[in-house]
Structure 1
Amino acid sequence: MKRELIAGLICCLCNFKIQAQSTKQAFSDLKTLNYTVESAPDWTNALIRQSGWFGGDGIFTIPMDGIEHRAARGKVLFIFSDSMIGGINDGKLKPGSTMIHNAVAILDGKERGAAKLKFYWRKGKGDKAESVFIPKTAKTENGDYLWLGDGFVNKELNNDLFIFAYRITNVSNAAFGFKEVGNVLIKIPAGDKSPYHAQKQEDTPFYIPDKGEGGGSFGAGIYVNTKSAGAPAPDGFVYVYGVIGKWKQVLVARVLPQYFEKYDRWTYWDGKAWVGDVRKAEKIADWVSNELSVSPLPDGRYAMIFQVGAMTKDIGLRIGTTPYGPFGPAIKIWDCTSDLTNKHYFVYNAKAHPSLSKPGELIISYNINSTDFFKDLPSDPNMYRPRFIRLKLQ
């Protein structure tokens, strides 16, 4: 009897060791993910609109209760960068439509219908549409405007809303006619509503000037790894991702949420440790897009979602063992060719939206634009808007 008990114990220990090794191998696998992917017409169609806001890019979604890692049960803030305001009639652009540089929308988390999505922008003289966020920092110069990065509700700082923004100016000597000149942090006190009259803006040290290899900025994505945000494996930090250079390299910073506004408390991953000098930050991935996301997977790994090579037809996914890597090679999960119905059209800035996603899936957006925008828009005014796909994890 004693011999059988010992043998049984040894068998159990062996099985436990085999299972532990199998789990470790699966966790360290950065190349394999069981999934299916399909279009998400419910979300894509929600942004086909005929009046008011009818197009834009730069879409990020922020759950207003600060719980990031599940489908939102309350309101969700959508933030957009360049946006078209006006009207469409019989598939053609109405006269008087205009572009502003950012806008927002609010969705009630309990309702998913397009009618529940309400858009907001400022109104100037004669009800002229204006951007919600207009730069007013110390370094702002005439002609500057703001495009928006990621944001979150900081439950450790009074539930205030923080949004990164990029200060942009138009230039004649750049491929697309603009360049980034600064990084801005927008703070909106809890309870303030659009157009956010109580907002505060400040220049940050997170803009990295172009020195020949291409500049960059932090704010391309945020991962809130805290218990209060519902993170599955919280370490208490907020991770902020930056994209730099012509090779679109990803850098990552982190800070405790209560010190989010104290830039001297931020640290940067140098490949081995967290250091206080942003100049020592090392890439954790490359060949991504200027906007991206990092989301937890059910098996404990992390998924970085992005447009491969900034503006190719493919949406990519990299698997990581932590929010700061290491991340594996790009897995191409979706070909956007069917959206490229015009030779001028291109795709960019794919990312996931956990607050829109059911358990076991990730809703992913991507943007469509044209290199001949103002020529193509009048005949195809609904071209310029996000599309969505649904990644289902097996």
Structure 2
Amino acid sequence: MKNTRAIAAGVAVASVLAGALLAAPASATTSAGHGSGGCSLTDKTLTATASVNESLTEQFTTYADTGGEWTGGDSTYSMPLRGGKTGWFFSDSFLGTVNPDGSRPSDSAFVNNSVVVQDAHGLSTITGGTADDPAAIIPPEENGRWYWIGDPAAGPRNTVQVPLLQFERTGPGSFDFQWTANRLATLDGRSLQLQSIIDLPSATGINWGSWTLEEGRYTYIYGIADPDGVRSSYVARVSTHAGLGDTWKFWDGSDWVSSEAAAVPVVPYVANEFSVAKFRDGYLLVTQDTSELFSTRIVARTSCSPVGPFTEPVELYRTPETGLAGSYGDADVFTYNAHEHPQLRKGNQLLVTYNVNTFDNVGDVYDDASIYRPRFVDVELKLSR
């Protein structure tokens, strides 16, 4: 199984990518619309100007090409770690080396999740297993079911808690797999090695863990499902003090209730992974637009509440890699799962990442190692009436 997380993010006819999906200028101005009460943010007009974050791009490119550890991955969540470090949490990850011509060896090690730790000395990779036989930090089960990660959060007693999506294969093809359950991994806060896994609510088919937002007494957990074919977000919450393993309550549109089946969608056309963070006196949601197939658009919405209502989307950036007209000139290449890293925000300047992959997961990802890596973008927001 290679890169199936990316395939899951864009299951559709790959030939759509051959169309003229052109990269637009990296700036846009549009009205954020009007939300209901409680803050001024939703009454503002957002202006977004974006550019590649050259520092992180160079650091990760150099490390992937020469570090001899991590050479590519997706998801690209991040969180502060002890000692002023930042942990970059990845799902499907390639390990090993990159050839001098930029290709990836065909026998490169592949694990379903890893962490790249950034500190004052540079980058280093944490996995499970051993140096000679690396494994995912949260390894597959004996029955072959594997885990892709959600947005990690600080847990009780100096731990890191990681929402998990469990999948299983249903056949030999690239698309032959299905989600089976939501679970929660607890990692040691220092070593980031696995301590335990417990079950999370899974009765409705909502994939929980797209994002976690700590806000005072509560931590909000966002998930996705596809009511009427529209990828939409749902919200649960737990006590911040108790952590993600505490009793979950679900937003039913007017109150927090115990029944997962009562949860209602709060915003449409989100990606499998997105972000919701405090911004000014409201909240800012950043996501890849899923109202169109293989969209190049990264958009933002605002709200006065973590559960919405959210305003109409504002375009922040268009990814230049996608499709035959993109920077790779490859109809198989696509981008997905954009979100912000709020702890790395500088004033109104956001750091946004997105992932790049290809439907040719037996050729392109080995021929050109640069494809299967995150991209880093600075987005400057301006607000006016």
Other-structure match for 1:88: 98
- Which moved further from structure 2: 303-312 or 276-285? 303-312
Whether the aligned pair in 1 keeps the contact of 2:161 and 2:244 (CA below 8 Å) is no
**1:273 Cα deviation from its structure 2 partner:** 1.5
Distance change in 2, residues 1:377/1:274 (3 Å): same
Q: Does 1:165 align with 2:146?
A: no
> Can you list the C-alpha shifts for 1:343-383, whole angstroms capped at 9, x where unaligned?
10111110101222323211000000101111112221111
TM-score (norm 2): 0.80
Distance change in 2, residues 1:62/1:26 (3 Å): closer
Determine what percentage of the aligned residue pairs are the same residue: 27
Whether the aligned pair in 1 keeps the contact of 2:183 and 2:200 (CA below 8 Å) is yes
- Please tell me the residue identity of whatever aligns with 1:163: V
**1:42 Cα deviation from its structure 2 partner:** 1.6
User: Given the alignment, which residue of 192, 201, 205 partners 1:205?
Assistant: 201
SS at the partner of 2:270? coil
Distance change in 2, residues 1:25/1:96 (3 Å): closer
Q: Does 1:220 align with 2:210?
A: yes
Q: Does 1:303 align with 2:284?
A: yes
User: Given the alignment, which residue of 314, 319, 322 partners 2:305?
Assistant: 322
Other-structure match for 2:136: 131
Whether the aligned pair in 2 keeps the contact of 1:30 and 1:320 (CA below 8 Å) is no
**Structure 2: runs of 5 or more not aligned:** 1-36
**1:258 Cα deviation from its structure 2 partner:** 2.7
Other-structure match for 2:238: 255
SS at the partner of 1:377? helix
- Please tell me the residue identity of whatever aligns with 2:374: P
**1:287 Cα deviation from its structure 2 partner:** 0.9
Other-structure match for 1:13: none
Whether the aligned pair in 2 keeps the contact of 1:30 and 1:327 (CA below 8 Å) is no
SS at the partner of 1:29? helix
Other-structure match for 1:212: none
Distance change in 2, residues 1:146/1:25 (3 Å): closer
User: Given the alignment, which residue of 359, 366, 378 partners 2:366?
Assistant: 378
Map of 1:257-272 to 2, 5 A cutoff? 257-260=240-243, 263=246, 265-272=247-254
TM-score (norm 1): 0.78
Q: Tell me how far apart the structure 2 counterparts of residues 262 and 128 of structure 1 sit (CA, whole Å).
A: 31
**1:167 Cα deviation from its structure 2 partner:** 1.0
Other-structure match for 2:147: 146
Other-structure match for 2:11: none
User: Given the alignment, which residue of 100, 110, 126 partners 1:99?
Assistant: 110
> Can you list the C-alpha shifts for 1:140-183, whole angstroms capped at 9, x where unaligned?
561111111011113xx223211111111223387733221111
> Can you list the C-alpha shifts for 1:78-105, whole angstroms capped at 9, x where unaligned?
1100001122122222353122111111
Whether the aligned pair in 2 keeps the contact of 1:252 and 1:268 (CA below 8 Å) is yes
Whether the aligned pair in 2 keeps the contact of 1:31 and 1:331 (CA below 8 Å) is no
- Please tell me the residue identity of whatever aligns with 2:80: P
Whether the aligned pair in 1 keeps the contact of 2:296 and 2:335 (CA below 8 Å) is yes
Q: Tell me how far apart the structure 1 counterparts of residues 310 and 249 of structure 2 sit (CA, whole Å).
A: 19
User: Given the alignment, which residue of 123, 136, 139 partners 1:117?
Assistant: 123
SS at the partner of 1:94? coil
Q: Tell me how far apart the structure 1 counterparts of residues 145 and 92 of structure 2 sit (CA, whole Å).
A: 13
Q: Tell me how far apart the structure 2 counterparts of residues 371 and 30 of structure 1 sit (CA, whole Å).
A: 41
Structure number, greater radius of gyration: 1
- Please tell me the residue identity of whatever aligns with 1:204: L
SS at the partner of 1:325? coil
User: Given the alignment, which residue of 231, 250, 269 partners 1:287?
Assistant: 269
Whether the aligned pair in 1 keeps the contact of 2:204 and 2:260 (CA below 8 Å) is no
Whether the aligned pair in 2 keeps the contact of 1:311 and 1:349 (CA below 8 Å) is no
Whether the aligned pair in 2 keeps the contact of 1:30 and 1:329 (CA below 8 Å) is no
